[in-house]
Amino acid sequence: MSFAFLNTPSEIISEIEKSNASQVFFLCDENTYIHCFLPYFENHTFQTIVIASGESSKSIDTFEMICSHLSVNYADKNTLLVNLGGGMVCDIGGFVASVYKRGIRFINIPTTLLAMADAAYGGKTALNLGSVKNIIGSFYPAEKIILSDFFLNTLAPKEYHSGFAEICKSMLLFAPEEWKQFSQNPSYPAVYQVKPYVKLALQCKQNIVEKDPLEKNERLSLNYGHSIGHAIEAVYNSKGFSLLHGEAIFWGMALENLLAFKLGLLQEDTMQSINQVLQTLYPLPIELVHIPEILEALKNDKKNDNDTIQMVLLSDLGKYLLKVPVALGLIQETLENYARPKQSN
């Protein structure tokens, strides 16, 4: 699994042409078709498959539609699928590639910051089943990941900011010096300045994934912020809020840091300084609501054993502990405390 930064559409086209595939299909969602395919690749003979944008497309129905499209167009084993989109397109496209004709070739060209820094790399593919996220999937690495920051120019600022959460996660887990430097003046880099951050996040992920591709041990570290973050994301979105993945992860990291402090694993000043930076980047909502549902969602999380929740917690900048068992009662107290002090002021 390799990644390459390419600066122009023509470099991307020649990279794809080098593959000598029998056919090339670009998989896009409605937005990436308009903003990322038409302006750069329309004049080439690539075929396209366009799916609706949004998380609800990561479904069995869409999976079937993509496979049918490949089949009626005689896609054979040497077909190349090019996933041009955010994490949603990369996840479903990767899954299709892993099972269509028992596996075809694919390339990811991520077009969101989240997909560039995280989702496109690492070989995890996924579909959702109803509201249960990523419950179907496979480990099937892309042949290549092609990164071009010009795609980010059309991305909504909210999506761009959300993607930066995964970069913060990487710095906190693996790059303490870079985090210290960043936290002196924390702000979102402009698109033309983001490449070093994407590179850093990918290099960190590459180191971990190479050691533990199937997420048996060390790769679990990448779930930092995601136990509570995923639960908040699932519950809030089921209640009609539109919380982006990265926004939930900013919140999840802050709450998990608070838990690490309560467990005596993370020093108070470190916890506070990290959480202040997270809060500057994503002003956390004043109170957390739907706590019983969030606890219920945590219990169902696939990372759990029995009645304790297993979490990855920071013990310092650049240091973490895997599989820390945390009692549900302490989590409940932490979530409630997070909401309460501000109410009683």
Q: Which is nearer to ligand NAD, 171 or 265 (CB)?
A: 171
As measured in angstroms, the least distance from the Cβ of 180 to ligand NAD is 25
Residues that bind ligand NAD (CB under 6 A): 29, 31-32, 35-36, 53-55, 58, 85-89, 91, 111-112, 114-115, 118-119, 122, 124, 126, 133-134, 151, 154-155, 159, 245
Smallest distance, ligand NAD to C-beta of residue 161, A: 11
Angstrom distance (rounded) from CA 211 to CA 258: 29
Position of minimal CB gap to ligand NAD: 87
Decide whether 71 or 153 has the Cβ nearer to ligand NAD.
153
CB of 37 to ligand NAD, least distance (A): 10
Q: CB 344 → ligand NAD: shortest distance, Å?
A: 36
Complex with ligand NAD: residue 108 or 183, whichever CB lies closer: 108
170 burial class (0-12, 13-18, 19+ CB within 10 angstroms)?
buried
Coil, strand or helix at 110: strand
Distance CA 34, CA 53 (A): 11
Question: What are the CA-CA distances from residue 127 to residues 158, 257, 267 (Å)?
Answer: 24, 30, 39
Question: Quick one: which of 179, 166, 159 has its CA closest to 249?
Answer: 166
Residue 306: which residues within 8 A CB-CB, separation 6 or more?
none
Query: From the CB of 131, what's the least distance to ligand NAD, in Å?
Result: 13
278 and 255 Cβ atoms separated by less than 8 Å: no
Q: Which residue number, 244 or 288, has a Cβ lying nearer to ligand NAD?
A: 244
Question: Which of 178, 215 has the CB closer to ligand NAD?
Answer: 215
CA 161 to chain centre: 13
